[in-house]
Amino acid sequence: MSEDPDTFHAPSARCSSEQLAGQIAALDRDRAFSELLHCVPDGVLILNDTRQIIYANRAALALGGVPHERVIGLRPGEFLGCSHSGDCEGGCGTTRFCRYCGGVNAILQARQGRATVEECHILVARPRGEEALDLRVWATPMAFGPHAFIFYAFLDIGDEKRRFILERIFLHDIGNTTTAMKGFLALLAATAEQPAQRDLYLHRVDFLSDQILEEIHAHRMLMAAEAGDLVLDPKPLTTLGVLRDVMDAYDRPAMLNGRKLAMAPASGDGAFASDPALLGRVLGNMVKNAIEASAPGESVTLSCAREGGGVSFAVANPTYMPENIRLQVFNRSFSTKGAGRGLGTYSMKFLSERYLGGRVGFTTSETEGTVFTARYPLHL
């Protein structure tokens, strides 16, 4: 084995090329076995004890998009194009992000002799940019002559996750909002002779109807974006104008629920061109997430600036994100609200980087809280 550099999770050591050749030769002696695996419709990899690929069936090769001659010796994340697989010298399995990856953790369980099923949610590099990949993985220890291998099967469950999210987020939120609207309509009917109460309830019904339309439009936009069907409509904008529009949309008592929304005094104005609807969606998600992360009485601060050859927007809240959240925050199927809840952080990164030519990131600390930043070019 080669020298093992530092790792944040799984061992980083790899087999030598001679060892890999011996392991591959052992599999090649049973041609019927490897040909049989090519008939399996799901992706199948055979991994050695250092998590390196010594065999990939046709279904796996089709998903990974890596030529067969370059697959041998890679680890699963490297083969699939995980955006974090190159963050550390040790590669797939050795980064801080890998601590929360079901793909590598299933392999580690199999190395201990336990067959394991996990879900793996990663962002992968593709020609058009990063894409979310949702997999269900099966890792099973497997003895092949004198060798200890891992039978690693995976299934793309992206469509399943989309349906699940549609049901759990979209229908859940629409259902809750509609129930609340129905309640206010009943109160409205009961207070027909009380103008002050009637106007209050009318305002609430109007707000809730806007929320329903907002949810419908948000999901329709994200579905079109992921399908590659979103058509951009760039217009001349100013940073302060965009920020004021976002402030107007969210600076409402019903939306803030005891939080405060403020614009940083040092915010600078700058002209640029972008798609106002898409940009508003991204910044709106930033503000909405910051509000939800804050406690009543706390403030969410918005700012903007002209910097270098572009513009930037920032949304700050006083809450610190612990490691298990910050390392998964942009994954499509991860949410602090629970399983199958929330697409805000994923969608703002996806829409910005795939369509608006921007970059989204964040910083977080116990003393400064969390700041999400979005940077865009002057011209889309």
pLDDT for position 341: 39
Banded pLDDT at 235 (limits 50, 70, 90): very high
**Distance of alpha carbon 14 from alpha carbon 4, whole angstroms:** 8
pLDDT for position 283: 94
Concatenating the DSSP letter of every residue in 128-189 gives: TEEEEEEEEEEEEEEEETTEEEEEEEEEE-HHHHHHHHIIIIIIHHHHHHHHHHHHHHHHHH
pLDDT for position 345: 84
pLDDT at 84 over 80: yes
**Distance of alpha carbon 363 from alpha carbon 369, whole angstroms:** 8
pLDDT at 338 over 50: no
More confident residue, 363 or 329: 363
Determine the distance from the C-alpha atom of residue 309 to the mean position of all C-alpha atoms in its chain, rounded to a whole number. Answer: 27
pLDDT for position 252: 82
pLDDT at 138 over 50: yes
- Enter the DSSP assignment of 330: T
Q: What average pLDDT does the segment 134-152 reach? A: 93
- Where along the chain do its domains lie? 17-156, 159-231, 232-380
pLDDT for position 290: 93
Q: Which option is the CATH number for 232-380: 1.10.3080.10, 3.30.565.10, 3.10.20.30, 3.40.190.80?
A: 3.30.565.10
**Distance of alpha carbon 256 from alpha carbon 262, whole angstroms:** 12
Tens digit of each residue's pLDDT (9 = 90 or more) over 244-254: 999 988 888 87
More confident residue, 323 or 216: 323
Banded pLDDT at 188 (limits 50, 70, 90): confident
pLDDT for position 20: 93
**Distance of alpha carbon 360 from alpha carbon 313, whole angstroms:** 10
Banded pLDDT at 4 (limits 50, 70, 90): low
Q: What average pLDDT does the segment 44-73 reach? A: 91
- Enter the DSSP assignment of 74: -
pLDDT at 141 over 60: yes
**Distance of alpha carbon 153 from alpha carbon 67, whole angstroms:** 19
121 contacts 134 by C-beta, under 8 angstroms = yes
Q: In terms of residues, how long is the chain?
A: 380
Banded pLDDT at 257 (limits 50, 70, 90): confident
**Distance of alpha carbon 250 from alpha carbon 283, whole angstroms:** 11
Which positions ≥6 away from 291 have C-beta within 8 Å?
250, 255, 256, 257, 259, 261, 300, 317
Q: Mean pLDDT of all residues in the chain?
A: 87
pLDDT for position 342: 46
Tens digit of each residue's pLDDT (9 = 90 or more) over 288-333: 889 989 999 999 999 999 988 899 999 999 999 998 888 888 877 6
Q: What is the pTM of this model?
A: 0.71
Q: Which option is the CATH number for 17-156: 3.30.70.1900, 3.40.50.1110, 3.30.450.20, 3.30.1490.70?
A: 3.30.450.20
